[in-house]
Chains A and B, each alone.
Chain A
């Protein structure tokens, strides 16, 4: 058993947050000087093989974050609601999968939610300064006061996580309970989990613990058991132990090789620089042309010719070889 995080102290200074503004590693649409010292990276480890699908975590998340999900419909499956919503930051996704090797039906249950990427696509895409921040302990958090509700984070995220609220038009997702972690607690979901399928600690601790779990699983015949800490996004601060780590996508579409989409890279990279340069060039070219060529003015002669034309006195004929108009 992984040593549980002790209950909070009742001492008066225990509620002072242990990280904040000064620990911001990345801030959306802003340049920040990274803090001189990085906090110990934290991580949540979700052991899919231990999960019994009780949804205690899902309920604890609603409870801690004071959210109420709309009453929905029974779609004949255990997954409920059917997708993440602005009020459902974490969702148990249930998959019935037939293992082609054993012909056994396996019930795969994955707790979906923000992965707290080391290289967060949401933050990269966000146009609003400070609407998304990443603390040096790895937590990616949305700051609702700065969010403009554009939904760019949805396009940036490789895991399809953020959702825009129809109520306050800002983006919501799992905060990794940054408020609890700041005072030395683990996330609410982890606290509620009855089987220790969810554990929380430093990233190194979590990797070590995962190693033990994987060895155990392998000894029980799950040859492909492994840790999901995808390198395409620089690793994540929410990791999974999967019994079939060779095919993450069988777990309700967990991306096999997540990375920030090249489209997002192009949009947020070359398009910005080239775009601004091209527009600047067009304006500068106009200015230079005016300076060099001078204004294009109508002459007295032009006016006289027009007057003669309007009066019916024939004005000069067009120069030879230039009369090509599509006259009817």
Chain B
């Protein structure tokens, strides 16, 4: 990297929602790098564990889904594996948390975005404020998952009788199992929202598969972030503010 690049990069501090690896490549269409390879692997490990946890957990949640234990090699295996997958999820999500927490801090435009949620749902993006790397909905998913995973690991350990039977009273175990079941329902709903949003907003899934989105996608959904990226592109003067 040349000295000039370094200097221009240091002219302004990196905004919270610009993460390492985020960059714009001009072209037709413009390509925007949104997730590094490491972030994508981290994401898919988390996603896979969450899905396996939901399947194995739901098998025990209701008799009508007990047949799902077949996917894990039977009831005994399901019972034994589920908590270990939970441990994988916990550490894998911790990785995502460290990567993404800063970009998910609340911003002023989140309030406006939420107040205009009906425009969001109608896809009328022109009536919404310019958004950074994540909108308020994505931040809700992020913080929701973070909180619920802490609740799930804590309650999960309290009901993990194979290793932790002696550490809690039966009454505490009853609370834990109820909390765990409720938190599981909540996290599955958050997950449905998350997956649905990725399907509904076309061009999103590429962000987590190839790591890239098109410039148009970033312009439409995360314009503030795109402007910041163009501004921080090495060797390029930031455009004059639009006011």
Q: Could you list which residues of chain A lie within 8 angstroms of chain B, going by C-beta atoms?
A: 29-30, 127-129, 146-152, 154-155, 160, 164, 169, 261, 263-264, 266-267, 271-272, 274-276, 278-279, 282-283, 286, 289-290, 293-300, 302-307, 309-312, 314-315, 317-319, 322-328
Contact = CB atoms under 8 A, between A and B. Distances in A.
Interface in B161-200: 161-162, 165, 170-171, 173-175, 177-178, 181-182, 184-185, 188-189, 192-193, 196, 199-200
B223 A164 contact: no
Interface stretch (B24-32, B41-49, B92-100): B24-32
A83 B73 CA distance: 33
Nearest to A272: B62
A129 B63 contact: yes
Given A278-B189, A327-B15, 6 more contacts: A155-B173, A282-B193, A293-B121, A297-B202, A307-B28, A307-B215
Contacts of A309: 30, 215, 219, 226-227, 230, 239
Contact of A325 (B13, B125, B129, B184): B129
Interface of B: 12-13, 15-16, 24, 26, 28-30, 59-63, 66, 69, 74-76, 78-80, 107-109, 112, 121-123, 125-132, 159, 161-162, 165, 170-171, 173-175, 177-178, 181-182, 184-185, 188-189, 192-193, 196, 199-203, 214-220, 223-224, 226-228, 230, 236, 239-243
A20 to B, nearest CB: 22
A105 B219 CA distance: 84
A223 B188 CA distance: 57
11 contacts: A29-B63, A29-B66, A155-B174, A296-B201, A302-B219, A307-B28, A312-B239, A324-B109, A325-B131, A326-B107, A327-B228
Contacts of B171: 261, 263
Contacts of A275: 61, 181-182, 184-185
Given A263-B174, A264-B174, A306 B242 contact: no
For chain B, what secondary structure do more than half of its interface residues adopt (helix, strand, loop), or is it mixed? helix
A65 to B, nearest CB: 22
A266 B178 contact: yes
Given A148-B79, A317-B242, A286 B224 contact: no
Residue among B123, B202, B219 facing the most chain A CB atoms (10 A cut-off): B219
Contacts of A279: 185, 188-189, 192
A324 to B, nearest CB: 5
A311 B200 CA distance: 29
A169 B76 contact: yes
Given A298-B217, A307-B30, A318-B130, A327 B241 contact: yes
A326 B80 CA distance: 47
B109 A296 contact: no
